Amino acid sequence: MKIDTALLDDLSSKAKANPRLRQAYDLRTTPNDQSQRILNALEPDTVVPIHRHLHSTETVVLLRGKVRQFIYDDRANVIDSYVVEANSPVCGYSIPLGQWHATQCLESGTIMLECKDGPYEPLSEENILKHG
């Protein structure tokens, strides 16, 4: 399959129409693939909770748009943040295993390629950091 402008435009349109303001496109060939490869379209105001992945690092490359990546400690204190933008000096990032993090979309039409080890697992409650 090709990852082309038509696919990215369609994914962005679906994200804008989605009440969650994001839309994923699974690039795996079967649900049993041992790696996760997802195109994720985000719009400003989408909510990505503070979360972690206990069984994988997470590597992200922005294909379009801009986000701010936040890194947190166990008490939901921000310990680092940085802007990531497609076609810029910082166009991606890799989150270590078990690191709390969250993403804020800064630009309409943002699309990222996300890669993780192992089969897809929805986030469990223990992997979403409660704060407030």
Domain count, the chain: 1
Whether 28 is in a domain gets the answer yes
Domain harbouring 10, CATH code: 2.60.120.10
Whether 123 is in a domain gets the answer no
pLDDT for 132? 61
Domain coverage including residue 112: 5-118
What are 40-98's pLDDT values in tens digits? Answer: 999 999 999 999 999 999 999 999 999 999 999 999 999 999 999 999 999 999 999 99
Whether 126 is in a domain gets the answer no
Whether 129 is in a domain gets the answer no
Around 123, how many Cα atoms within 13 Å sit in the side-chain half-sphere?
15
Whether 125 is in a domain gets the answer no
Whether 110 is in a domain gets the answer yes
Quote the CA–CA distance of 50 and 113 in Å, as a whole number. Answer: 19
What are 15-46's pLDDT values in tens digits? Answer: 999 999 999 999 988 878 888 999 999 999 99
Confidence (pTM)? 0.92
